[in-house]
Amino acid sequence: MIRKLTSGQYRLYSRKKDPKSGKRRNLGTFETKEAAQKHEREVQYFKHH
């Protein structure tokens, strides 16, 4: 899940909410949306291999 920040950067959040905090976990902040999407694909690949 990618959200645009007020600074113009993009942040990748986990798809599920963290049960402890009730919020989504921050998985990194990126300069471009493409970089965030690339990292999201890498994360999903890693989770399934």
Could you read off the pLDDT of 4-38 as tens digits, one per residue? Answer: 999 999 999 999 999 999 999 999 999 999 999 99
| Tokens linked to 43 | 């994360």
Q: Give residue 41's domain range.
A: 2-47
Number of domain units in the chain:
1
The pLDDT score that the predictor gives to residue 9 is 98
Q: Which residues contact 40 (CB under 8 A, 6 or more apart)?
A: 2, 12, 27
